[in-house]
Structure 1
Amino acid sequence: MTIKQAPVSDSILRHWREAVPEDRLAHLIKDATRAMVRGLQMRLAQHEVSFGHWTYLRILWERDGLTQKELSDESGTTAPTTFNAVSAMEKLGYVVRQQTPYNKKNTYVYLTPKGKALKRKLIPLAEEVNEIGISGLKEVEVKTARKVLLTIIENMAKDEANSSDPARRIPSTRELAELIARREALEDE
């Protein structure tokens, strides 16, 4: 006899409806994001594209020829993460990196025909996930949700931009590792 496992969503829904129905909005947004990302990941995997690559492809489909730094900034990822992803995408034939003759400092990332062609296959998958996610909602509810989420994003961006406290920023992976190493060294003394 085969036992069918309950989907992950069952435990998440039970958590929200029964255990913590009044928990913080941030947790609810995180779980909704996680559910939609999983839905997209399942679909992208059918085309052998990782979610991480999807993020960069989506940006490059809108603005091809960005520097690696611009791509990192737009995706909200660190420079090493972007470098690794672009390297992997280059091996897969989705992008090429080039320097211009007049500026050897910056490396620009360009989609290849193969990378451009993925747009026709992958965008409908993202649209499908969005449609699944909003099924059962009225148009006015979707508009309200968009307004609420955009306001939250804007408010949090303002909070980050207005922070004058240098301790209230996101450290690089290297800085974080150094902070941890220093703390461990102090604890060992």
Structure 2
Amino acid sequence: MNKSTSSKPSPGKIATQSSEDSVGYQLSATYRVLNRALQAQVARLDVPAGTWIFLRTIWEEDGLTQREVGRRVGIMEAAAGSALNKLESRGLIRRVRNADDRRKINIYLTERGRALGHELMPKADELTARMVEGFEHFEVAQLCSYLMRVRQNLRAVESSADIKNEGTENTIDS
């Protein structure tokens, strides 16, 4: 058997799977392209990078607490606070102390934030339509179902890793 037909990996080869066949690579590459396309849409409207998902969450349900917004977006409350600060400084949201529980602060859209939603959501819907162009309706539903399952599986891995790493420093530099 010559070298070109050998099934052994070359000495310098580390990856056992091509990027085209890697689900993780495909998800990551797709996210990057989607994020660039989305940022191109929102940048023209003075929406800070990385805050689109927060606005979208509040457009779906106005009046959530910072903790609820962070949970729905899938990040820690403090990181959500940083993004919400950017939106508040641009006059897109306002914070209001909860009348029933003074410890909580609810997040509401301003008129400007609401108007922005009416302008941006059709652009997001158009981007989504272009993203799944050529797909049948059932294929889009199936894709969403698969992606939700992948996310659930990864959350289980994340939870397992959190338990295993409890009390240890979890940085690459340690």
- TM-score above 0.5: yes
Between the aligned partners of 2:19 and 2:90, the Cα distance in structure 1 is: 44
Query: Which of 117, 126, 134 lines up with 2:124 in the alignment?
Result: 126
Between the aligned partners of 1:91 and 1:76, the Cα distance in structure 2 is: 23
- Residue 39 of structure 1 and its aligned partner are, at CA, apart by 0.8
- Residue 159 of structure 1 and its aligned partner are, at CA, apart by 4.2
Counterpart of 2:44?
Answer: 46
- Residue 22 of structure 1 and its aligned partner are, at CA, apart by 4.6
- Residue 31 of structure 1 and its aligned partner are, at CA, apart by 0.7
Q: Percent identity of the aligned residues? A: 28
Any residues of structure 2 matched to 1:53-64 within 5 Å, and which?
A: 53-64=51-62
Asked if the contact 2:19–2:26 (Cα under 8 Å) also holds between the matched residues in 1, the reply is no
Between the aligned partners of 2:51 and 2:19, the Cα distance in structure 1 is: 35
Greater alpha carbon shift after TM alignment, 34-43 vs 129-138: 129-138
Counterpart of 1:167?
Answer: 164
- Residue 135 of structure 1 and its aligned partner are, at CA, apart by 1.9
Kindly indicate whether residue 89 of structure 2 is the aligned counterpart of residue 91 of structure 1: yes
Any residues of structure 2 matched to 1:1-189 within 5 Å, and which?
A: 20=18, 22-161=20-159, 163=160, 166-168=163-165, 183=174
Asked if the contact 1:95–1:112 (Cα under 8 Å) also holds between the matched residues in 2, the reply is yes
Counterpart of 2:11?
Answer: none
Q: Which amino acid aligns with 2:38?
A: L
Between the aligned partners of 1:112 and 1:167, the Cα distance in structure 2 is: 43
Asked if the contact 2:97–2:105 (Cα under 8 Å) also holds between the matched residues in 1, the reply is yes
- Residue 93 of structure 1 and its aligned partner are, at CA, apart by 0.9
Q: Which amino acid aligns with 1:73?
A: R
- Residue 164 of structure 1 and its aligned partner are, at CA, apart by 8.2
Aligned alpha-carbon RMSD (Å): 2.7
- Residue 121 of structure 1 and its aligned partner are, at CA, apart by 0.5
* Unmatched 5+ stretches in structure 2: 1-16
- Residue 29 of structure 1 and its aligned partner are, at CA, apart by 1.0
- Residue 165 of structure 1 and its aligned partner are, at CA, apart by 6.2
Between the aligned partners of 1:132 and 1:165, the Cα distance in structure 2 is: 37
Q: Using a 3 Å threshold, how does the CA distance of structure 1 residues 21 and 108 change in structure 2: closer, same or farther?
A: closer
- Residue 102 of structure 1 and its aligned partner are, at CA, apart by 4.3
Between the aligned partners of 1:101 and 1:145, the Cα distance in structure 2 is: 42
- Residue 111 of structure 1 and its aligned partner are, at CA, apart by 1.0
- Residue 51 of structure 1 and its aligned partner are, at CA, apart by 4.1
- Residue 57 of structure 1 and its aligned partner are, at CA, apart by 1.0
Asked if the contact 1:44–1:125 (Cα under 8 Å) also holds between the matched residues in 2, the reply is no
Note the alpha carbon deviations across 1:103-143, whole angstroms, 9 max, x for none. Answer: 32122211111111111111111111112211233334333
TM-score, with length taken from structure 1: 0.71
What secondary structure sits across from 1:98 in the alignment? strand
Counterpart of 1:6?
Answer: none
